[in-house]
Amino acid sequence: MEWRASHILVKDRQQAQHILQKIRSGANFEALARDFSTCPSKAKGGDLGWFGPGKMVPAFEVAVKRLGHGAVSDIISTQFGYHIIKKTGQRE
């Protein structure tokens, strides 16, 4: 199984909550990733491409597995900071 996802990574939980509120109010995920994410993937609107099991930190991978296609996660905390994840694909 492989998944494709985009994310927005920030260091501050309060900022992550503010961004998530904007997304849930209809703001464009990719535009917010470009504006706010601290990950190099921001240049691609947060797109991380395809990845398989064990390629992401456990909390991130678990969150992606649970999401439906096109769904956006709650705030996920890892050693890198606070993520908002959007699942964009899944394949066998």
Give the model confidence (pLDDT) of 26-70 as tens digits.
Answer: 999 999 999 999 999 999 999 999 999 999 999 999 999 999 999
Residue 78 main-chain phi, psi, to 5 deg: -135, 180
Q: pLDDT band for position 78 (50/70/90)?
A: very high
Percent of the chain residues past pLDDT 70, beyond the cut? 100
β-bridge pairing 81-91 and 47-51: unpaired
Mean pLDDT over residues 70-78, rounded? 98
**According to the model, what pLDDT value does residue 14 have?**
98
Count the Cβ atoms, other than its own, within 10 Å of residue 62: 11
All structural domains of the chain: 2-91 (3.10.50.40)
**According to the model, what pLDDT value does residue 12 have?**
97
